[in-house]
Structure 1
């Protein structure tokens, strides 16, 4: 059986003929081929704009959820590591708490400051030093502790002054010496006398009432600075 011969030029000519003279106001009167092409084009536009308006926003949401998944996985891995080391972390927390308690024991309370000042004075007298000046200054209240500077000036022999500074360092309470100035003492009968000027700083912990007052004052300063 012989295949029918198809004249492609004639077919294209007939197809082009259907697109000639089309009235855009009456698409219902168009031939079959222009109707099919117009339907395919309209369907393509609907699909394109539907994807652009609807699916593109969903694609952004999907990408955001994928990014969140990566973050959640990283958080999960971090928490797994913490869970594995939880026992060790608890031991470290206990050790830190004990260390803080030891430091707190080295800080006197408000009622113990007078005894601490007496200890500093006795440390100098015990080394045979003469106090030319022993003047506590203004208390500087921090967030969790208070600092008291004491201006001192003692006169004595070099080794006695050195021993006095060692005694200060070995006190059960924390006392630090700042701005040391040592020079020859003029007007003294004994040869080799020196004087030492320094600022001794002692520290004490705040009771709960003082801590709340310090925080309130800090917040008040912040608000005033913000205005």
Structure 2
């Protein structure tokens, strides 16, 4: 082989070697036992000499610990505050909706209140200015006589003062039969005065099958009169 051809072959081999580049060692697979042993042989006084995998692992553990502490302490408390604020916001929104609805219907409410006030005053004007207890007791007595019941007691109790009117309670105790009591109650309702009946009690003191029993009736009635308005109260209303 001629010298020129040898030189040409040598140059070709060198070019091929340069094209291939330096030879790299084969990659080593991860060995967990080696990784664990690297932790066991750590020098706590010289952390700079630790292997790179150990440094990365320790750094990740520190980051995870810091994130957990940040969540457990300030972030979790802030989340609770946010939830409480959201709940309060819903309450405030509901209150606002109710008030806004009332504001939109305010004129309607005012008209209704004014109409109710007129009707209420009309009813108050229908009440007598005086109770006239004697006339009322006489009317009750006559109604009882017409119903064939026998009175045991008719007690006029103290008046009860309310804001707009005065109640006059009258307690009635009588003896009679069922149909007589029914007739008596109907007669009270037909009296010209407004009379309401409360807390009535009917009892049979001597039960028997031989005759129609005579029953006891305890009845609380109330009549009403309008309350006189003094000049001081009129001035306060104005």
What TM-score do you get using the length of structure 2 for normalisation? 0.53
Gaps of 5+ in 2: 1-18, 175-182, 203-216, 229-238
Cα 1:118–1:43 shift into 2, 3 Å: same
Cα 1:44–1:149 shift into 2, 3 Å: same
Q: Does 1:146 align with 2:198?
A: no
Once residues 6 and 116 of structure 1 are traced to their aligned partners in structure 2, the CA distance between those partners, rounded to angstroms, is 123
- Correspondence list, 1:182-221, <5 A: 199=219, 201-204=221-224
- Deviation of 1:49 after TM superposition, in Å, equals 0.9
Q: Is the contact between residue 193 and residue 223 of structure 2 (CA under 8 Å) also seen in structure 1?
A: no
- 1:55-87 Cα distance to aligned partner (Å, 9 max, x none): 011111111212222222222222232222222
Query: 2:208 maps to which residue?
Result: none
1:83 to 96, 103, 125: 103
Cα 1:20–1:30 shift into 2, 3 Å: farther
Once residues 96 and 118 of structure 2 are traced to their aligned partners in structure 1, the CA distance between those partners, rounded to angstroms, is 31
Count of residues in Structure 1 that have an aligned counterpart in Structure 2: 183
Computing the radius of gyration over CA atoms, which structure comes out larger, 1 or 2?
A: 2
Cα 1:60–1:166 shift into 2, 3 Å: same
Q: Does 1:96 align with 2:113?
A: no
Q: Is the contact between residue 140 and residue 146 of structure 1 (CA under 8 Å) also seen in structure 2?
A: yes
Q: Is the contact between residue 138 and residue 149 of structure 1 (CA under 8 Å) also seen in structure 2?
A: yes
Query: 1:60 maps to which residue?
Result: 80
CA RMSD in angstroms, aligned pairs only: 4.8
